[in-house]
Structure 1
């Protein structure tokens, strides 16, 4: 596996734990056909920042019964679940790049990528079955995965639909992204035998974090290039996925935006015009303000958790999300 992201080099214990998370994932990728195994290992090695396992590892220190080995295994399961959703995302979005590298579906084909994603789902539940304390925790993870997949299906179903509803957008990202952050925080807290109040706080903090994270991701999609996000700029708009900056802008420029979006196949000039309309309506700054509100809610919720070194790190990395440039 690859070394952890530089973001974590200031946190030696956390960085070491993430290396162990990668090792657990690596140990569970075992396929007789070594060509297939190699392809899936490449997906695992392109792991990015590993934010979800970070939140699971930190929240596993909320309760009185911190178990490092279990925390690492739970974090590995959740990262594998995240990897699976990304592989499927790339199929849905017809994305050729993920973090600057060719996606599995582009390298092979859609069927291959879908089965590979399903295989990663199976690893997630294999790890959980070996390390969680209860069947109810497995059931909770299964229900959470259901919410993630429903969010993905809703996004697919709503492609090329006029960007009118902020409420629907928020509901979609609540399942698509926030649920997995919430699950990471909640599972870590539960497995450390935190109180019901503490596990609920952990869940809520993760939800707010995930909402802010996705909104910022959607803002960056309008500002990015291949080098900063590892994917083309305005990829979502080109694929008929209309996110918060565009939804805010639609409120002021519905006629002009509809005229562009009815083309479905947007040219570079169309995208430039769309960007200009978003700039005129302050769509990016309005979206950022909502992301800040979710981040403030997350930090306020974290403040209510028991004191400890983990808590300072939780607050620090949540604050840093607003400064993301990649």
Structure 2
């Protein structure tokens, strides 16, 4: 009997997720079906791969030996899907994912327009959430993948960089900083700030970089926090305060002369956007194609 790659994927998912029930949720299968496939794999090899107890699931020695090979099989299946779709150029199905605010509102709309013109038989459902919410949805709520604005170090989640970005200080055109190319961090600390909410990737990147320079968020004059970048831009335009935002989000306002980007001396808020998914999951072909297009856009 030929080795069943699907069974290897199921075994790998069970091992990564730590339980049959969690694997079933990830694979969109029933728990008995997952158990049956693992048992069939054990029967093929003539040995136990998993020790099942009431408290936890543990790999046997044979299971430990098989796990890296199962991982290679899963990765090869993913690579094969990606290669063939690029060759055939035909795509159908439903693409459902979540994106952080910057990605969802400012980067993806143009890309998705081009994507859907190329693949008119694909339907897209995109939810916009902050980074923390997206990681939770991928880890525990069955979301296929997400696009976030900060690194992710959560067990069982695989994060891969897809695009580069830079955050920059943004001031209204009538502000004294607007006539300067560069200001000091000390000058920025003394100014009122309008920022994204805690839990957003933009806020996390800003705080991490400021901490590297010995500045905590308690030292900042934060007068308002918003969950919307659009609201922040309007507040800055109205003179409520300054902000630190992604260059992707302010291109239109810069062109219209409504906002001015200003460099902070010796401070760089460079970051990457990441795709996140369960390490044990196989992405759909529409998902792998969209992520490939994102990486290509970053290199243009």
Q: TM-score range by the shorter chain?
A: under 0.3
Q: Which protein has greater RCO, CA pairs closer than 8 Å, 6+ apart?
A: 2
Greater gyration radius: 2
Of Structure 1 and Structure 2, the greater strand share is in 2
Of Structure 1 and Structure 2, the greater helix share is in 1
Q: Normalization by structure 1: what TM-score?
A: 0.22
Q: Normalization by structure 2: what TM-score?
A: 0.24
